[in-house]
Structure 1
């Protein structure tokens, strides 16, 4: 444990949804849900306006629609999110050389490495206030919640206490008082299964966990987990901020609108996923030893199977061959709703096993793998809700909805007022996807976001020939 509060955790508030609201003036102050928009989609992020209706991350999109039918449901624009994340991480690295990104929207910062003259509670509080102001300005209006403490555990918990746009500094010596009233699930690694085991022995809060002996915890949850929980319950966390976090795995998975049964179709889909995974490995100059297949069946049960090679590989045929072997171990006769391929045990070198099995997966062109069926289940909507587009006459905008051969577009950008909605044929040659960087400049005018009279709201009163968001 550190003597001073020098570990900072920053978490951007409702990140994906906030970026969408920034870039789409008509959605500011409105419920926005980002994630899968199909019948089997899952919510990735919900704006605070949507959360007021009970919409949460990891909730099915179907349930989210039932709770908040008037929300804008968007598929997400990861190029935009990565762009904003890069801006935030650069800002954090200007503050300290030790920054540990956890995801696109959160990171730890070691303030002890920042060379601060004052690391008192008042000193780091002022640093956090400046950081929040700089973050808000650099991202075009996004907010981040900041927590500061003497450990990663305390800093991360603190950043969540006053969301959104919060700032909490936990003074040294008060960490255990902060944790004791909280539910045990606040401690990293205490998921539903561990929480249920603890509940069975009468432990619901961190205070109750603190009263359990180390031996009893080991008996309830196992050796490694029990020892870790014993320390965490006492705010004993000496994990350092690690500047470089290496990827542990590379994976691809897809959820399908209908349950898939045909074995050749499943194998063809695995081949394509293997190709995507190995392409990403090669771009990152990585290879991996362990191939994993993830299968979610019609009854929502999820099965994973893995095989480990003697040496790492980035070969598409090798990964595809192992994936086909692994799926054969799962009974898919009832139908598959989700399929995924992953490679772990990553290395930055490749040495194929010269004495191993040299059999390679068959080329998809060499056997009837129902290419038409594969195309049918893998192709997405040509115009996804929320995607950036540009029209030769009307300029830049974003897809509001599509269906029945029509696509409806709202013509506005981050720097404009809410714009008009127009509908076109899906094959209109004047309408094309728009790469980022040309119009996505954060607004700097006070009138940005003020709705125009008579402009319809996203997801409300959609044209009859379009599928509303």
Structure 2
């Protein structure tokens, strides 16, 4: 039986800014795009969340909800430095660490002998040391697998700890709303609801042919997660699956030539990121498999056109841009993105989340 901890820093970027400037602590604060531009909120503190501000929300919408919102552009160097401090703390307990982003990670502490092997006490000690050494708070979830540990870390936010023991798994998942399962977005949740399926207990009682008919290959994952089953191991290999850059435009673009110009500006940015990654140990072993162009339109629809074996050259990217442009249905373009996908081996693919 595994002992998995999911650590999730509380409003990480905003928390770093509040730590460094205590005057911001009780103000609604967000890190994100400028007021004049059409950016999005990266993260926000809890006073801002009380107004309905959320991560990934357009900046303009956030300002309508909270006109007094303090908006900072952020300082990635500071956030990376804090993340490295936190990662060093994790390494004191286990070398089985799977970072998900700068502010969250899975830890497998099954073989850790500290605190007589108690994952609960290990998680609590990690949180204590993070606060003592960085001045930041973290929430933690402890469970027998990754899926439940991640769910648990959100139960007592902020600055909380929640534990799901093996004996508690069955009762915990029975009442878990289906929209909290990974891979269940708004549309899937709506389809489940129309079928009278609202929580994990409903899935467990549903006829398998019904699930397969409406959800296809996803039915197997729904069944497993609804029973609290997740066999994925904590993956310590930091090999990336993708890399990308994108730009939310100040004004919608209505001319194809304007999109070409923006794409040509994004290309060297992506090339620099790729060069930097290629100099890492994981990057040297990770060949590029595909290249894609993403467009988001005025009505917030988005589309991505990808091609395998495509070199990262503007003339080779233009056919992808052209195909995406043809899907606009007379809408303007509000965002342009450029991304590459890396080739991963079969073992890694088996461990990817659904």
TM-score by length of 2: 0.89
> Do structure 1's residue 336 and structure 2's residue 333 form an aligned pair?
yes
Structure 2 SS opposite 1:174: helix
* Residue 234 (structure 1) aligned to one of 224, 227, 230: 227
Paired residue for 2:318?
324
Structure 2 SS opposite 1:235: coil
> Do structure 1's residue 35 and structure 2's residue 26 form an aligned pair?
no
Paired residue for 1:88?
86
* Residue 193 (structure 2) aligned to one of 182, 185, 199: 199
Distance change in 2, residues 1:258/1:44 (3 Å):
same
Superposed CA offset, 1:359-405 (max 9, x none): xxxxxxxxxxxxxxxxxxxxxxxxxxxxxxxxxxxxxxxxxxxxxxx
Paired residue for 2:304?
304
Task: State whether residues 114 and 122 of structure 2, in contact with CA within 8 Å, keep that contact through their aligned partners in structure 1.
Answer: no
Superposed CA offset, 1:325-363 (max 9, x none): 111122366421111111113479xxxxxxxxxxxxxxx
Structure 1 SS opposite 2:17: helix
Distance change in 2, residues 1:321/1:115 (3 Å):
farther
Paired residue for 1:44?
42
> Do structure 1's residue 263 and structure 2's residue 260 form an aligned pair?
no
Partners in 2 of 1:10 and 1:291 — Cα distance? 32
Partners in 2 of 1:138 and 1:321 — Cα distance? 50
Paired residue for 1:459?
none
Distance change in 2, residues 1:346/1:283 (3 Å):
farther
Task: State whether residues 246 and 338 of structure 2, in contact with CA within 8 Å, keep that contact through their aligned partners in structure 1.
Answer: yes
Superposed CA offset, 1:218-257 (max 9, x none): 222112x111111110011121111123111111100111
> Do structure 1's residue 172 and structure 2's residue 166 form an aligned pair?
yes
Structure 1 SS opposite 2:116: coil
Structure 1 SS opposite 2:246: strand
Task: State whether residues 115 and 121 of structure 2, in contact with CA within 8 Å, keep that contact through their aligned partners in structure 1.
Answer: no
Structure 1 SS opposite 2:261: helix
Q: Which has the higher helix share?
A: 2
Superposed CA offset, 1:177-225 (max 9, x none): 11222210111111122212211211111221221133322222112x1
Partners in 1 of 2:52 and 2:254 — Cα distance? 35
- Work out the number of aligned pairs and report it: 334
* CA RMSD across the alignment: 1.9
Task: State whether residues 240 and 342 of structure 2, in contact with CA within 8 Å, keep that contact through their aligned partners in structure 1.
Answer: no
Which runs of 5 or more structure 1 residues have no equivalent in the other structure? 349-469
Structure 2 SS opposite 1:294: strand
* Residue 130 (structure 1) aligned to one of 125, 128, 131: 125
Partners in 2 of 1:288 and 1:77 — Cα distance? 29
Which runs of 5 or more structure 2 residues have no equivalent in the other structure? 346-354
Task: State whether residues 197 and 221 of structure 1, in contact with CA within 8 Å, keep that contact through their aligned partners in structure 2.
Answer: no
Structure 2 SS opposite 1:253: strand
Point out the more displaced range, 230-239 or 279-288: 279-288
Superposed CA offset, 1:406-455 (max 9, x none): xxxxxxxxxxxxxxxxxxxxxxxxxxxxxxxxxxxxxxxxxxxxxxxxxx
Larger of the two Rg values belongs to structure: 1
Structure 2 SS opposite 1:207: helix
Task: State whether residues 247 and 337 of structure 2, in contact with CA within 8 Å, keep that contact through their aligned partners in structure 1.
Answer: yes
Partners in 2 of 1:96 and 1:158 — Cα distance? 20
Paired residue for 2:241?
248
Task: State whether residues 40 and 62 of structure 1, in contact with CA within 8 Å, keep that contact through their aligned partners in structure 2.
Answer: yes
Distance change in 2, residues 1:117/1:198 (3 Å):
same
Partners in 2 of 1:22 and 1:117 — Cα distance? 30
* Residue 146 (structure 1) aligned to one of 140, 145, 167: 140
Partners in 2 of 1:63 and 1:280 — Cα distance? 30
Partners in 2 of 1:77 and 1:63 — Cα distance? 23
CA drift at 1:156: 0.9
Structure 1 SS opposite 2:80: helix
Task: State whether residues 115 and 122 of structure 2, in contact with CA within 8 Å, keep that contact through their aligned partners in structure 1.
Answer: no
Superposed CA offset, 1:24-55 (max 9, x none): 22202221111112442211111011111111
Task: State whether residues 130 and 136 of structure 2, in contact with CA within 8 Å, keep that contact through their aligned partners in structure 1.
Answer: yes
Partners in 1 of 2:149 and 2:240 — Cα distance? 23
Task: State whether residues 97 and 114 of structure 1, in contact with CA within 8 Å, keep that contact through their aligned partners in structure 2.
Answer: no
Structure 2 SS opposite 1:188: coil
Partners in 1 of 2:264 and 2:344 — Cα distance? 22
